[in-house]
Structure 1
Amino acid sequence: MEALDTIDLGLLDQLQQDGRVSNAKLAERFSLSEASCWRRLKRLDDAGLIEGYHAALDRRKLGLGVMVYVQIMCTQHTEEVTAEFERLILASPNILACDNTTGEADYLLQVVANDLDDYSRFVEKVLRKLPGVFGIRSNISLRQVKSTKRLPIV
């Protein structure tokens, strides 16, 4: 892909701010024709810079009152065990994010649950049954100060 110019970066930034903004509004905002704006967006999309469009939902209003950051320590790191571990992680809707990390923990999960009892059940039925896991450390979020998917590109 060719280098991104200031208009490309501006378009991406605007889409991060409002994924529902119309092509006409973007074109007007950046002094482009609608066709030119659409071609730029298509090029950015085809290059994989845009991974999707999502609505930001209020988890609490949906009954998911508990957010937990979970450190997972593993004893086995074979290809087979890791693949099965990651397959089960991907299949769990309560796990919002999973990062393979450096340091004491092998993985850091971001998990939501209805309440503490629901989270306790999740630990017993899902996390403790993951292959290769020997340690689980939970950090319950008391209050989220900042949460964004918006990247600092402009």
Structure 2
Amino acid sequence: MDSDLDRVDIAIAERLQRDGRLSNTRLAEQVALSEASCWRRQKRLEERGLIEGYQAILNRRKLGLGVMAFVQISCHEHSEEVTAQFERIIQAAPQVLSCHNTTGEADYLLQVVARDLDSYSRFVEKVLRTLPGVSSIRSNLSLRELKTDNRLPVSELVSL
């Protein structure tokens, strides 16, 4: 944790994480600061990279993205050049929501969305199977989403 963060910084981050559209006036009220002081603290958190940005959370199913897959990719080649090419392709693929270089059986774990199984199959054929250095691809399809949340447990960092 950033050692310069205090309870007020954590409270600001936690509230903005819950509602990124929260006005400075309401935020200042909730954390018991003047509006000017609250604004300065929020800007400092942004400048230091603790707050990376703001976005709307969209409902993937209502947008027609009915398939969520978790894909394990193992590689037989780990050269710097092949790895860089692999990462460029993955980063450019809008269907890939997240990609993690992992320990264990697989080298990478991807979270992928698609309209339907046919669309997912095309993504596997045209993108994943063409990735350099890949030796195996294992897909696990989500049958039911029990929890999805991008909010970090910042209130656990400092008891408020």
Match of 2:20 in 1: 19
Unmatched 5+ residue regions in structure 1?
none
Amino acid paired to 1:7: V
SS in 2 for 1:144: coil
Amino acid paired to 1:71: Q
SS in 2 for 1:70: strand
Pairing 1:42–2:33 present:
no
SS in 1 for 2:20: coil
Match of 2:77 in 1: 76
Cα deviations across residues 53-85 of structure 1 (Å, max 9, x unaligned)?
A: 011100011110000000000000000000000
Unmatched 5+ residue regions in structure 2?
156-160
Match of 1:4 in 2: 5
2 CA distance for matches of 1:98 and 1:2?
A: 29
With structure 1 as the length reference, what TM-score do the two structures score?
0.98
Cα deviations across residues 92-135 of structure 1 (Å, max 9, x unaligned)?
A: 00000000000000000000001001111110000000000010
Tell me the matched-pair count. Answer: 154
Match of 2:158 in 1: none
For the aligned residue pairs, the C-alpha RMSD in angstroms reads: 0.9
| Amino-acid identity (%) | 66
Amino acid paired to 1:28: E
Match of 1:115 in 2: 116
1 CA distance for matches of 2:52 and 2:59?
A: 21
1 CA distance for matches of 2:37 and 2:23?
A: 14
2 CA distance for matches of 1:2 and 1:133?
A: 41
TM superposition shift of 1:31? 1.5
Match of 2:97 in 1: 96
With structure 2 as the length reference, what TM-score do the two structures score?
0.94
2 CA distance for matches of 1:108 and 1:4?
A: 32
2 CA distance for matches of 1:31 and 1:16?
A: 18
Amino acid paired to 1:94: Q
